[in-house]
Amino acid sequence: MAQESSGARRSRTDAVWIHSGSPHCCVYSGHSDSVICLHGTRGKLISGSVDSTIRVWSTSQPTCEAVLEGHTDWVRCIDCRGSTIVSGSDDCTIKIWDLDSGKLMKSIEAKSMNCLQLFGDVVFYGSEEGSIFILDVETGQQLAALTGHSQSINCMQIWDEGEVLVTGSGDCTVRFWSLANHQCLYIYQHHSFSVNCLCIADSTLFTGSGDCTLRAIKISNNQTDGEGISFSGHTSPVFCLHVKNELLFSGAGDCSVRVWNKMTGECVLHLPGSPGTSDIMRATGHMDWVNAIWADGEVVFSGSVDKTIRRWH
């Protein structure tokens, strides 16, 4: 069901710059509950929260440029393409927003979801029940459903120039799907707990898991190739990752952010959390789980259950 609304209001936020040795950290505050997802585009950082709002921030300074209101429950996932923002929520809707104006352009009925991705005129989303749905953005109609996972779909990425969809699940597996015939091409399992996040870069699959590790393995002909490498150091489930150039960034339930050499698995920087700190604005790290991460050049953004986004540089 489509509807149009204007859900944006201007907002600014306080910031405190902290020098904790290396690197510097800047706190972005404004959300009233946990930050669940982040996405960067066109010099903007987009965040989704348990407080049911989406915020648009400057990536260069801690300023909230707009608050997008329209969801009535947790905002679980966000994707951006050009001037279009797509968001998925526990209110069982997918909403389409215009980044420039902040207007809600369309609302599509869906199921509860953890992840989504916009590709051309269709949106893919992964449901709590373990199915992947493909919807027409213009009409909201369901075009296909991919079944095979036995637990929630936690992460996904379109790959191979739109020919393949890769999904990670609570059933500990990663599946490769043909978007031509909607059949499962390959199943990869190496983690012992849920696959919470994934990314494909340079023909390599990177995954983060509830088993507290990350893994990297080469992909060839839509299958994994070789043994791959493991990234160990987090002491709680890994919830998010992002690959940028030669580095892999991760966030976890141990309140920390880690930066890795993506080729060797070596941890090159550890940004520890500050659980138990009373002043959130002066804490040198996150005070609770790190749910989301986004890297842009030498700047890394992390979003947390502590309601803040931190900009590390």
CB 251 within 8 A of CB 239: yes
Three-class DSSP category at 251: strand
Does residue 47 lie within any of the structural domains? Answer: yes
Confidence class for position 19, pLDDT limits 50, 70, 90 = very low
Does residue 48 lie within any of the structural domains? Answer: yes
- The parent domain of residue 103 ranges over 1-109
Does residue 93 lie within any of the structural domains? Answer: yes
Percent of the chain with pLDDT over 70: 90
pLDDT in tens, 191-215: 999 999 999 999 999 999 999 999 9
Distance separating alpha carbons of residues 146 and 139, to the nearest angstrom:
20
Beta bridge partners of 238: 252
User: What was the pLDDT predicted at 297?
Assistant: 76
For residue 103, what is the domain's CATH number? Answer: 2.130.10.10
Does residue 92 lie within any of the structural domains? Answer: yes
User: What was the pLDDT predicted at 20?
Assistant: 41
Distance separating alpha carbons of residues 173 and 87, to the nearest angstrom:
25
User: How many Å is the Cα radius of gyration of the chain?
Assistant: 18
Does residue 8 lie within any of the structural domains? Answer: yes
Does residue 100 lie within any of the structural domains? Answer: yes
Does residue 245 lie within any of the structural domains? Answer: no
pLDDT of residue 230 exceeding 80, the answer is: yes
pLDDT of residue 241 exceeding 70, the answer is: yes
Beta bridge partners of 219: 224
Confidence class for position 22, pLDDT limits 50, 70, 90 = low
Distance separating alpha carbons of residues 52 and 214, to the nearest angstrom:
30
pLDDT in tens, 293-306: 999 878 999 999 99
Give how many domains the chain has, as a whole number: 1
Task: Work out the angle at residue 103's Cα, subtended by the Cα atoms of residues 101 and 105, and round it to the nearest 5 degrees.
Answer: 125
Alpha-carbon separation of residue 116 from 14, 193, 290 (angstroms): 31, 21, 20
Distance separating alpha carbons of residues 280 and 115, to the nearest angstrom:
28
Does residue 119 lie within any of the structural domains? Answer: no
